Amino acid sequence: AMSAVLTRAARHCVETGANPDDLVPARLHHDMAPFHFQIETLRNHSVWGLEAVKTGLFTPPPLAGAVPFTALQAVVSQAITTLEALTPGEVNSWSGKNLDIEVYRPVDEENASKSAWGPRNLAFTPETFLLSYSIPNFYFHAVTAYAILRTRGVPIGKGDYEGRLRTRTD
């Protein structure tokens, strides 16, 4: 769905004469990460989230930072290609093992909104890592990217966010 959302954002910029690169540093609030961070983090929590359950290491590449809008579209396209190359059997074979993965979390969990963040080594299974860390992060950053685009006037709605539903094929 994010690929289609980015395509729609680019089309909106063409239609309105706006520069899509102006979306790259956009933020919802001055203390929140910019649009480009949201897109790179989507890749990190999908591609590298699965790599973490495979290898036990969550080591996404360093963030590229402010890049042209087309580079963000390429990040999403490359992530989709990587994920589509995985087979269900391959992914399922990673389940059920014990993992100790270093993740960045609030140092003070009780005051998470005000706490500094730092590395913490936590015990997971592949399922708990994906369900309690990567998937929530993925959706948080997807919603934030969507909201940034909406605040910049990009005409997207719930259907764009949901994308094509994947239904049974029987």
Per-residue model confidence as pLDDT tens digits over 69-102: 999 999 999 999 999 999 999 999 999 999 999 9
132 SS3 class: helix
Separation CA 99–CA 137 (nearest Å): 19
Please state which of the four CATH numbers 1.20.120.450, 3.40.190.10, 3.40.50.300, 2.60.120.10 is assigned to the domain occupying 2-19+26-82+97-107+116-162. Answer: 1.20.120.450
Separation CA 99–CA 113 (nearest Å): 27
Q: How much is the pLDDT for 55? A: 93
Q: Where are the domains of the chain?
A: 2-19+26-82+97-107+116-162
Q: What is the pTM of this model?
A: 0.89
Q: How much is the pLDDT for 106? A: 82
Q: Is the pLDDT of residue 53 over 90?
A: yes
Look at residues 2, 4, 34 and name the one whose alpha carbon lies nearest to residue 21. 34
Write out the DSSP string of 150-162: HHTT----HHHHH
Q: How confident is the model at residue 140 (pLDDT cuts 50, 70, 90)?
A: very high
Q: What is the pLDDT of residues 24-40, one digit of tens each?
A: 999 999 989 999 999 99
